[in-house]
Amino acid sequence: MKIMKNLYALLICVGVYYGAVAQRFAYVDSQYILNKIPEYKTAQDALNQQSVQWQKEIEAKYSEIDQLYKSYKADEVLLTQDMKEKRQAEIEQKEQAVKDLQKQRFGVNGDLFKKRQELVKPIQDKIYDAVQDLAEKDNLAVIFDKSSDLTMLYTNPKYDKSDEILKAMGYGGKEKEGKGSKKQH
């Protein structure tokens, strides 16, 4: 009985060991993939143009406020207390409006974030779908993203599936150079 329990435990350990050894891993470099997709470059250009346009709009409003403040300072000695308070309130109101606009455009869930979601998320979804298909096709247990916060000190290029993802998505992709990559300190 004791021998059977030990034999059973040994078989479980061997099964777990071979199951762990049989796990297959690969990695992709999503930034490399994104940079090879023309639609991503187009989306980035559109986002940059929109961002510059919004920034100019905000800077123009701050310039207007600056002119109002300078005008107020020049006229301050001639104004009654009531007029001073009115002009100060107007300047403060415009400053708050610009701050609100800046938050609306560039804030956490602002217009730029929404525009990025609209333009870039479909591309990221295509990459994710291609990664899932590759993982199922190659029976991979895990695929890491080399360009994310995951740090790899050494990567073997034979496990880099970035070009396969590009090909699966219909983009050529050029083989990366080098035998392996080591993280530089």
pLDDT tens-place string over residues 119-161: 999 999 999 899 888 888 888 888 888 887 765 545 567 788 8
Where are the domains positioned within the chain? 25-182
52-110 per-position pLDDT tens digit: 999 999 999 999 999 999 999 999 999 999 999 999 999 999 999 999 999 999 999 99
Residue showing tokens 């301050």: 76
Global pTM reads 0.67
DSSP strand pairing (154-155 vs 181-182): antiparallel
* Selection from 118, 139, 125, 142 nearest residue 28 by Cα: 142
94-118 pLDDT per residue, tens:
999 999 999 999 999 999 999 999 9
Helices 111-137, 81-106: axis angle to 10 degrees equals: 10
Burial (Cβ within 10 Å: 0-12, 13-18, ≥19) of residue 79: middle
